[in-house]
Amino acid sequence: MEQWRRRFRGIGEYLERALRNAKQFPERIALQTSDGESETYGAYWRASEGIASLIRQSGYPVKKPVMVYGHKSPRMIECFHACLKTGHPYVPVDCHSVPPERVANIAGQIGDPLLLAVEDLPDAGISAQTVDREQLEAAVAAAPDLDSAFESVDRTAWVSGDDLAYILFTSGSTGAPKGVCVTASCIDGFCRWALTLGDAEREGAVFLNQAPFSFDLSVYEQAMSFWAGGTLYSLTKESQDSFRLQMEALAASRARIWVSTPSFAEMCLVEPSFDEQMMPDVRLFLFCGETLPNGTAARLLERFPHAQVVNSYGPTESTVAVTACTVTGQMAASSDPLPVGRPRKGTRIDIVADNGEPVPAGECGEIVIAGDTVARGYLGRPDLTAKAFGTDMVDGKPVRTYRTGDEGWLDASGMLHYRGRLDLQVKMNGFRIELGEIEENLRRLPCIKAACVVPSVKDGQIRYLVAHVVWEGERTESDFRQGLGIKEALKDVLPHYMIPRKVVFHDALPMTPNGKCDRKALARL
Residues of this chain that bind ligand AMP (CB under 6 A): 170, 216, 288-292, 311, 313, 315-316, 340, 404, 406, 418, 421, 427, 432
Burial (CB < 10 A; 0-12, 13-18, 19+), residue 89, is: buried
Question: Closest approach of Cβ 411 to ligand AMP, in Å?
Answer: 16
Q: Which is nearer to ligand AMP, 170 or 429 (CB)?
A: 170
Minimum CB separation of residue 59 from ligand AMP in Å reads 34
Q: Considering beta carbons, is residue 21 or 222 the nearer one to ligand AMP?
A: 222
Decide if 494 contacts 437 (C-beta within 8 A).
yes
Q: Give the Cα separation of 104 and 112 in Å (integer).
A: 10
Closest to ligand AMP by CB, 109 or 318: 318
Closest CB 80 distance from ligand AMP, rounded Å: 18
- Tell me whether residue 391 is exposed, middle or buried, using C-beta atoms within 10 angstroms of its C-beta: 0 to 12, 13 to 18, 19 or more: exposed
Residue pair 399/372 in contact (Cβ under 8 Å)? The answer is yes
Comparison of 161 and 414: residue with beta carbon closer to ligand AMP = 414
- The angle at the Cα of 11, spanning 6 to 14, to the nearest 5 degrees, equals 90
Any bridge partners for residue 70, and if so which?
Answer: 94
Q: How far is the CB of 326 from ligand AMP (least distance, A)?
A: 13
In angstroms, the CA 148 to CA 366 distance is: 53
Between CA 270 and CA 85 the distance in angstroms is 43
Cα separation, 197 vs 312, whole angstroms: 9
For residues 152 and 143, what is the distance between their CA atoms, to the nearest angstrom? 11
> Judged by CB, which is closer to ligand AMP: 136, or 340?
340
410 DSSP β-pair partners: 416
Smaller CB separation from ligand AMP, 45 or 285: 285
d(CA 56, CA 467): 47
DSSP output for 350-401: EEE-TTSPBPPTT--EEEEEEETT---EETT-HHHHHHHEEEEEETTEEEEE
**Of residues 468, 446, 458, the one with CA closest to residue 522:** 468
C-alpha–C-alpha distance, residues 317 and 401, integer Å: 10
Least CB distance to ligand AMP at residue 515 (A): 28
Nearer to ligand AMP, 55 or 379 (CB): 379
270-280 exposure pattern, b = at least 16 Cβ within 10 A, e = fewer: eeeebbeebbe
CB of 341 to ligand AMP, least distance (A): 8
Indicate the residue among 400 and 427 with the shorter CB distance to ligand AMP. 427
Instruction: Specify the 3-state DSSP secondary structure of 87.
Output: coil
DSSP 293-362: -HHHHHHHHHH-TT-EEEEEE--GGGSS-SEEEEE-HHHHHH-SSPP-BEEPTTEEEEEE-TTSPBPPTT
Smaller CB separation from ligand AMP, 150 or 497? 497
Q: Please, what is the minimum distance in Å from the beta carbon of residue 164 to ligand AMP?
A: 17
Q: Which CB atom, from 66 or from 309, has the smaller least distance to ligand AMP?
A: 309
In the complex, minimum distance from the CB of residue 194 to ligand AMP, in angstroms, rounded to a whole number: 14
Contact between 25 and 229 (Cβ < 8 Å): yes
Smallest distance, ligand AMP to C-beta of residue 294, A: 12
For residues 16 and 407, which CB has a smaller minimum distance to ligand AMP in the complex? 407
Least Å from the CB of residue 331 to ligand AMP: 14
Shortest approach of ligand AMP to residue 316 CB, angstroms? 3
- C-alpha atoms less than 13 angstroms from C-alpha of 124 in its C-beta half-sphere: 16
Q: Cβ atoms within 10 A of the Cβ of 395, count? A: 11
Q: Which helix (H) or strand (E) holds 14?
A: helix 12-24
Provide, rounded to whole angstroms, the least separation between the CB of residue 311 and ligand AMP. Answer: 5
Question: Which lies closer to ligand AMP via its Cβ, residue 230 or residue 315?
Answer: 315
